[in-house]
Amino acid sequence: MLLYTSLLSQRKMFRLSHSNPLLIYMICSKCKKDKPSSDFYKRPERKNKPQAYCKECFNIYCMERWLDKKKKAIEYKGGICVDCKGKFDYYLYDFHHLDRATKEFGWHKMRLYGWNRIVKELDKCVLLCCMCHRIREHKIGTDGGT
């Protein structure tokens, strides 16, 4: 009871189901569909407050944001592979850490951070296409990099 009354006071978009009073419906602010609250992620930083986007829309939204960040990161690193000087589509590029000892995180983690933190990590990397990346790793004899 307490949970949904507090949720109700937070947002106007909540609606209670008549057939099941424990089921809370929310309107996704992206696709505008009426969905049960289980179709929404909880925000990690504020535990009981769900995302305004449904899971489906939120996933798409994240992917788009990560994609934008990757494109921006590629641009930041000069937009060409440092080894073959080739220009490729974004999904063929990797960020290769020159010194594994300084590596804090790879792109999969990097993309979750704000731009300033990403840049700090990118400064330890060179931009390689996936082919050249594979060749470098082969030479180093580790599976390192990304």
Residues that bind Zn ion (CB under 5 A): 28, 30-31, 54, 57, 81, 83-84, 86, 129, 132
Minimal distance, residue 115 CB to Zn ion, in Å: 25
Kindly tell me which of 88 and 105 has the beta carbon lying closer to Zn ion. Answer: 88
> Minimum distance from CB of 120 to Zn ion (Å)?
24
For residues 28 and 51, the answer to whether their CB atoms sit within 8 Å is: no
- We find the least distance from the C-beta atom of residue 1 to Zn ion, in angstroms, to be 27
Report the residue number, 117 or 134, with the smaller CB distance to Zn ion: 134
For Zn ion, the closer of residues 55 and 111 by Cβ is 55
Do 62 and 71 touch, CB atoms closer than 8 A?
no
Q: Rounded to an integer, what distance in angstroms lies between the CA atom of residue 8 and that of residue 35?
A: 15
Tokens of 118: 């990403």
CB of 135 to Zn ion, least distance (A): 8
What distance lies between CA 65 and its chain's CA centroid? 6
Nearer to Zn ion, 74 or 132 (CB): 132
What's the min distance (Å) between Cβ of 36 and Zn ion? 12
Phi, psi angles (nearest 5°) of residue 50: -75, 160
Beta-bridge partner residues of 16: 24
Q: Judged by CB, which is closer to Zn ion: 83, or 137? A: 83
Task: Using CA atoms of 79, 144, 65, 39 in order, give the dihedral in degrees to the nearest 10.
Answer: 160
